[in-house]
Amino acid sequence: MRKRTILIFTLSVLVLLGLVAGLFTGSIEKALGRPQKTANMPKTQQTQSKTNTPVANTPGTTPVNNNQPTPPNQQTNVLAADTFQRQNQTLWGTASDGRQWGGDANTKAVFSISGMKGQITGGQGTSDAIIGASTSNVDITISGNINQFGTDVNLGIVLRWKDTNNWYKAFFDGNQLVILRNVNQQKTTIAHIDVKTGAGVMQTLRFRSIGAMLSAKVWPGGTPEPQKWLLMTNDNTFSTGQFGIRVSEQPTTVITIMSFNATAASIGNGI
């Protein structure tokens, strides 16, 4: 009987100890640094919980939003352009940008399109090819050549063109780069510099007006553009006008134009 009593007492103590251990297991494991078991949360909820946890931005960095649309390309403000890539024809007709050439370009037979190039040939004296609306600040670049230089033979750009007797012109003649002013048929050289340009060699000529400031440069085609303007001068005779090409030639002169481009000019938008 005594043994039976002792056995029952021992079993009761063991059961009681088991219950106490179960109640304090978490505290004991935490105190010992053991990892606790994850609660019985469904795997999908656990994953979602981790995914939706906000992450603080690192100081000094910008948050990236891959859903933002790419900003549109900034287009240059083109006032007129012609690549002359059209069929052979007399006169220059319509430029590649859809604008009509004016001045002599659509009335004088010396103007033509030949071999995807603009040509001015067989004339005597001066001729104008005018395009675009009247404007103030403009930056014009042309590429072209002259088969042979001589007296009163040159290729130039006009801007602030009022009519055939009132304009600014920058031109090269084989020996010089010149900025010329014409007021009621009174021509005045307002800037010039010695620049040798070879006959038959493609040249790029650039002429820009911003306020009273006129700037010009010329360089052989296919070579880097000079970093500085070769000519810079101030003149406030004309404030607005059209723009285009003006040439002076002899009957044997052949002037070829590869491209014409005019954009709105402002401080900082070009060399």
Q: Are residues 116 and 200 in the same domain?
A: yes
Do the domain assignments include residue 119?
A: yes
Q: Are residues 185 and 82 in the same domain?
A: yes
Do the domain assignments include residue 71?
A: no
- Percent of the chain exceeding pLDDT 90 equals 70
For residue 16, name the pLDDT band (cuts at 50, 70, 90): low
- Location of structure tokens 């079993």: 11
Using CA atoms, how far apart are residues 253 and 181, in angstroms rounded to an integer?
24
Q: Are residues 1 and 105 in the same domain?
A: no
Q: Are residues 155 and 100 in the same domain?
A: yes
Q: What is the CATH number of the domain that holds 107?
A: 2.60.120.560
pLDDT given at position 269: 53
Q: Are residues 8 and 133 in the same domain?
A: no
Do the domain assignments include residue 173?
A: yes
Cα 9 from chain centroid (whole Å): 96
Number of folded domains that form the chain = 2
Q: Are residues 82 and 13 in the same domain?
A: no
Do the domain assignments include residue 1?
A: yes
More confident residue, 192 or 61: 192
Q: Residues 195-209: pLDDT tens digits? A: 999 999 999 999 999
Q: For 160-164, what is the mean pLDDT? A: 97
Using CA atoms, how far apart are residues 180 and 247, in angstroms rounded to an integer?
13
Using CA atoms, how far apart are residues 86 and 51, in angstroms rounded to an integer?
60
| pLDDT reading at 6 higher than 80 | no
Do the domain assignments include residue 259?
A: yes
pLDDT given at position 14: 59
- The domain containing residue 235 runs over which residues? 78-264
Q: Are residues 92 and 26 in the same domain?
A: no
Q: Residues 93-152: pLDDT tens digits? A: 999 999 999 999 999 999 999 999 999 999 999 999 999 999 999 999 999 999 999 999
Give the contacts of 55 (CB within 8 A, at least 6 positions apart): none
Do the domain assignments include residue 270?
A: no
pTM for this structure? Answer: 0.72
Q: Are residues 254 and 199 in the same domain?
A: yes
Q: Are residues 105 and 213 in the same domain?
A: yes
Q: Are residues 139 and 200 in the same domain?
A: yes
pLDDT given at position 267: 73
Alpha-carbon Rg of the chain, whole angstroms?
A: 41
For residue 235, name the pLDDT band (cuts at 50, 70, 90): very high
Q: Within 13 Å, how many C-alpha atoms sit on residue 99's CB side? A: 20
Do the domain assignments include residue 155?
A: yes
Q: Are residues 23 and 117 in the same domain?
A: no
Q: Are residues 25 and 145 in the same domain?
A: no
